[in-house]
Amino acid sequence: MRESDVVRPAASPFLLLVIAALVVGRGAFAQTLLQVTKLTSTPVVSAGEAVIFSVIVQNVGAITATDVLVTDTLPGGMTWTENNSACSISLARFLTCNFGNLPPGAVGVVAVSAVTDRNDCGTLDNTATGSASNAASQQDSASITVNCPSLVVGAFASAAVSRPDSAHGLTIALRNTGPGTAKGVTLDVALPIGNYTLSPPMSGCVFTTGKVSCSVGDLDPGEGRAVGLVTFSGQCGTYTATADVGASNHDDVSDEVSFAIRQAGDADGNCDVHVQDVFRLINFLFAAGAPPV
C-alpha cells in the first residue's frame, strides 16, 4: 500500500469550533460555585413562640460570583421579618436578597423570624434557593416543629344531691394533654348560688358576682391543676356550674356539672318539708301528677 492511500483523519471544522469556544469561554462564560445553607436555631417550639430560619450563601468557587440572589418562599400563615438591608419580604412571606457580587469565599447571610400561633401546629418546611448570573442555582432546606397544647377540663360535684345545711363542693380539673406548652391559661367558673371559697386556697383567682376567674399561667405538656370550691348554700334547687378554660395559644374549652340541693322528703323543692310534700308525692305516684323536684 502506498502512503498516499492512507486516509488521515482530517481535523473536523466542528471540533475546531468547539475548542475555540472553550478557550474563549474561560474568560467570557467562566462559572463559579455557590453553596447554600439553611439553618434554624429554633427546631422545636410551642405555638405562640418565635421561629427563626437563617440562610447562608457562600461563593466556594475560584472567581467572583456575580448578581448573587437568594429567594425563599417562607411558610404561610404568619408574618416574617428579615434582618439584612440587602433583603426584602413581600406579601409577608416572599424573601428576596440581592447580595450583588461575592468574591471567592465571601458570604451573604440573612435571618428571618416570625411569631407562631395556634394555627401553625405541625411542621414548617422551608427551602431557600441561591443563584448567580455565573453559577448554577443551589438549594437547602430546614424544618421547624411547632407543638400545640391540647387543653381538657372537667367540672365535678362532690355529690349529686346535698342538704341545704351542709357544704357543697365543686372541683374543676384541667390538664394540658398536648405536646406544646399552653400559654397564659385562664379558668372562669360560672357559679350558680351562694358564696364560695377556694379549698384549698389558690392564688391568682378573683371572685366577682356569680363567677370566679383564675390566672393559671403556663401549663407544660402533661401538667394540670385542680381548683376546689365550697359553698354553704341554704337554697334548695337544681344548679349548673360551668367551667371555661382558655389560653393565648388554644381555643376555649368548657365543661359543666349539675347538682341539686334538697331537703330529704321535700317533694316541692322549697327547702321545707310539710304535709303538702307528702300529698305531692302521692299525687305523683298514683295520679300521674307533676314529678316531685
Nearer to Ca ion by C-beta: 252 or 272? 272
Among 17, 88, 272, 285, contact with Ca ion (rule: CB under 5 A): 272
- Phi, then psi, of 172 in degrees rounded to 5: -110, 115
In whole angstroms, the minimum distance from the beta carbon of 263 to Ca ion comes to 7
Q: Is 40 in the site for Ca ion (CB under 5 A)?
A: no
Angstrom distance (rounded) from CA 243 to CA 185:
13
Nearer to Ca ion by C-beta: 142 or 273? 273
In whole angstroms, the minimum distance from the beta carbon of 177 to Ca ion comes to 45
Grid cell of 183 as nine digits: 400559654
The region of 56-64, 116-124, 179-187, 269-277 touching Ca ion under the rule CB under 5 A is 269-277
What's the CA dihedral at 228, 234, 236, 239 to 10 degrees? -20
Among 268, 281, 284, 292, contact with Ca ion (rule: CB under 5 A): 268
In whole angstroms, the minimum distance from the beta carbon of 271 to Ca ion comes to 7
In whole angstroms, the minimum distance from the beta carbon of 265 to Ca ion comes to 8
The region of 164-172, 188-196, 220-228, 271-279 touching Ca ion under the rule CB under 5 A is 271-279
Q: Which positions ≥6 away from 66 have C-beta within 8 Å?
A: 101, 132, 133, 134
The region of 39-47, 94-102, 172-180, 276-284 touching Ca ion under the rule CB under 5 A is 276-284
Nearer to Ca ion by C-beta: 17 or 285? 285
Nearer to Ca ion by C-beta: 58 or 233? 233
Q: Is 270 in the site for Ca ion (CB under 5 A)?
A: yes
DSSP H stretches of helix in the chain? 13-28, 275-287
Contact between residue 193 and residue 230 where contact means Cβ atoms under 8 Å apart? no
Nearer to Ca ion by C-beta: 64 or 270? 270
Residue 124, burial from CB neighbour count under 10 angstroms (0-12, 13-18, 19+): buried
Contact between residue 31 and residue 136 where contact means Cβ atoms under 8 Å apart? yes
Grid cell of 52 as nine digits: 427563626
With residue 112 as reference, give the H or E element that holds it. Answer: strand 107-115
Q: Which among 153, 130, 159 has a CA at the least distance from the CA of 59?
A: 130
Nearer to Ca ion by C-beta: 38 or 262? 262
DSSP 31: -
Q: Is 164 in the site for Ca ion (CB under 5 A)?
A: no
- Phi, then psi, of 220 in degrees rounded to 5: -70, 165
Among 49, 72, 244, 277, contact with Ca ion (rule: CB under 5 A): 277
Peptide bond into 104 cis (omega under 30): no
Angstrom distance (rounded) from CA 161 to CA 152:
25
Count the site residues for Ca ion by CB under 5 A.
Answer: 5
The site string for Ca ion over 228-267 (x = CB under 5 A, - otherwise) reads --------------------------------------x-
In whole angstroms, the minimum distance from the beta carbon of 158 to Ca ion comes to 24
Q: Is 283 in the site for Ca ion (CB under 5 A)?
A: no
Nearer to Ca ion by C-beta: 223 or 268? 268
List contacts with Ca ion (CB under 5 A): 266, 268, 270, 272, 277
